[in-house]
């Protein structure tokens, strides 16, 4: 049914979500691949609008689709905007996957998230632990929408023979991240908070939760590189985790960010804020078998992300 390696060269490639952190990294990485890149702005096509998406696909008929469009955010955004997180992510997935199928896309990659795994699944998280137990409640609406997208890809592979694949990235960071003080993810939040404390001479920075949860962080350009590799070399029903294979506590992580930013004051913990899932360390052995591993160390990646923050926000 499917041929690997799948040649990208010369193909029309649609990156859905090119303004986001992941889509932006895919666009940067695809610049090395000699493809005809297709993107579309939100004002032109709102991916939640089925008629607009179907019309755009019928007109442009991309041969390859990276589905990196999603409503995303950190633990408070996920837990507060629960309706938006389930609706936007469900409808974007159904519109784009179906339109890709109807318009004959040769290959599609759906990007999920490590939060689709059960809250208390054995660590490191293996791909086959999906749907074996209850989810982390703070991000359940997002996770359910992503699981629906994954199952849709599986069903379209099975019924229609579509060469569509699912990948599950760990927590991501890097250029193009969202630095909203409340709704961002932890990396962007701490880069901003330590930077602002350094500038204003504040000597105590507050980190949410107990500091004990563990997270794995992948630099987004490494993710994009893995996605290109998998698009080329992988075709199968099984999900593929994308991560570094290493995790760190939030307390230790805060010290890595403080060092990169040059903040030397104290760090304290606000335990009224949620910890979320205790750990989501990905088993990356499937990806390793394909010969791929992350290149950017956490220390280097955070320095690069801080540099990007400075140029995006203070350049």
Cα dihedral value 35, 40, 46, 48, nearest 10: 0
Cα–Cα distance, 287 to 284 (Å, whole number): 5
> Exposed e or buried b for every residue in 31-59, given b needs 16+ CB within 10 A?
eebebebbebeeeebbbbeeeebeebbee
**Of 42, 32, 47, 36, the residue nearest 13 (C-alpha):** 36
Cα–Cα distance, 214 to 246 (Å, whole number): 10
Contacts with ligand GDP: how many residues (CB under 6 A)?
19
Q: Are 186 and 199 in contact (CB under 8 A)?
A: no
Residue 139 binds to ligand GDP (criterion: CB under 6 A): yes
Residue 125 binds to ligand GDP (criterion: CB under 6 A): no
Strands (E), the chain: 12-16, 36-38, 64-67, 107-111, 164-169, 171-173, 204-208, 214-215, 217-219, 240-242, 248-249, 266-270
- Of the candidate residues 215, 221, 240, 286, the single one contacting ligand GDP (CB under 6 A): 215
For residue 207, the minimal CB distance to ligand GDP (Å) is 4
Using the rule CB under 6 A, give the single segment among 9-17, 218-226, 230-238, 267-275 that binds ligand GDP.
267-275
**Of 134, 73, 77, the residue nearest 277 (C-alpha):** 134
One character per residue 159-188, x = contact with ligand GDP (rule: CB under 6 A):
------------x------------xxx--
Of the pair 273, 303, the CB lying nearest ligand GDP is at: 273
For residue 171, the minimal CB distance to ligand GDP (Å) is 5
Of the pair 52, 81, the CB lying nearest ligand GDP is at: 81
Cα–Cα distance, 69 to 181 (Å, whole number): 22
Q: Are 256 and 248 in contact (CB under 8 A)?
A: yes
Name the token pair of 4. Answer: 């690997």
Window 24-83: residues binding ligand GDP (CB under 6 A): 74-75
Instruction: List residues with catalytic annotation.
Output: 142
Of the pair 227, 257, the CB lying nearest ligand GDP is at: 257
Of the pair 62, 141, the CB lying nearest ligand GDP is at: 141
Of the pair 149, 213, the CB lying nearest ligand GDP is at: 213
Using the rule CB under 6 A, give the single segment among 30-38, 144-152, 222-230, 272-280 that binds ligand GDP.
272-280
Window 93-122: residues binding ligand GDP (CB under 6 A): 115
Q: Are 29 and 54 in contact (CB under 8 A)?
A: no
For residue 113, the minimal CB distance to ligand GDP (Å) is 8
Give me the residue whose beta carbon is nearest to ligand GDP.
Answer: 74
For residue 46, the minimal CB distance to ligand GDP (Å) is 25
Residues that bind ligand GDP (CB under 6 A): 74-75, 115, 139, 171, 184-186, 189, 207-209, 213, 215, 250, 273-276
């Amino acid at each position: 049914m499917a041929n690997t390696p799948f040649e990208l060269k010369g193909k029309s490639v649609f990156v859905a979500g090119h303004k986001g952190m992941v889509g932006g990294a895919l666009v940067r990485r695809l610049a090395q691949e000699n493809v005809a890149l297709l993107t579309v702005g939100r004002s032109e096509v709102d991916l939640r609008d089925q008629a607009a998406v179907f019309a755009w696909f019928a007109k442009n008929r991309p041969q390859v689709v990276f589905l990196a469009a999603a409503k995303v955010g950190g633990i408070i955004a996920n837990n507060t905007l629960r309706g938006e997180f389930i609706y936007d992510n469900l409808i974007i997935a159904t519109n784009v996957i179906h339109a890709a199928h109807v318009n004959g896309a040769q290959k599609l990659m759906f990007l999920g998230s490590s939060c689709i795994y059960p809250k208390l699944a054995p660590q490191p998280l293996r791909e086959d632990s999906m749907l074996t137990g209850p989810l982390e409640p703070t991000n359940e609406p997002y996770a359910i929408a992503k699981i629906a997208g994954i199952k849709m890809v599986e069903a379209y592979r099975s019924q229609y023979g579509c060469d569509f694949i699912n990948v599950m990235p760990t927590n991501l960071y890097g250029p193009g991240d969202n630095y909203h003080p409340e709704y961002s993810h932890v990396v962007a939040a701490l880069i901003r908070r330590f930077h602002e404390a350094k500038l204003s001479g504040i000597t105590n920075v507050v980190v949410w939760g107990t500091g004990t949860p563990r997270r794995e962080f992948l630099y987004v350009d490494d993710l994009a590189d893995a996605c290109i590799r998998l698009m080329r070399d992988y075709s199968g029903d099984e999900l593929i985790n994308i991560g570094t294979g290493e995790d760190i506590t939030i307390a230790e992580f805060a010290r890595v960010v403080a060092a990169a930013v040059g903040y030397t004051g104290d760090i304290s913990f606000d335990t009224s804020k949620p910890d979320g899932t205790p750990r989501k360390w990905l088993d990356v052995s499937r990806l390793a078998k394909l010969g791929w591993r992350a290149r950017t160390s956490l220390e280097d990646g955070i320095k690069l992300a801080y540099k990007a923050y400075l140029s995006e926000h203070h350049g």
